[in-house]
Amino acid sequence: MAITVNLDVVMAKRKMSLNELSEKVGLTLANLSILKTGKAKAIRFSTLEAICEALDCQPGDLLVNEQDS
């Protein structure tokens, strides 16, 4: 089981750049980049909430549980 982060997909749908999201959420570009590339090991609920608010989405839009076959 793996959790996939679809931050780049949601950002593209909203036509929002990483720089713009960084400013709205108050996170560094480096931290957002780690999350966007799927290299993050954890995310705080407060960070997830801020990203969802900035992108007008739900956590399920950003995080997908991929089942192993």
Please choose, from the candidates 3, 7, 2, the residue with its C-alpha nearest in 3D space to the C-alpha of residue 52.
7
pLDDT for the residue numbered 67: 79
pLDDT for the residue numbered 68: 63
pLDDT for the residue numbered 66: 85
Please choose, from the candidates 54, 51, 61, 4, the residue with its C-alpha nearest in 3D space to the C-alpha of residue 31.
51
pLDDT for the residue numbered 69: 53
Question: Tens digit of pLDDT for each residue in 12-66?
Answer: 999 999 999 999 999 999 999 999 998 999 999 999 999 999 999 999 999 999 8
Walk me through the domains of the chain, giving residue ranges and CATH numbers: 2-66 (1.10.260.40)
Model pTM score: 0.89
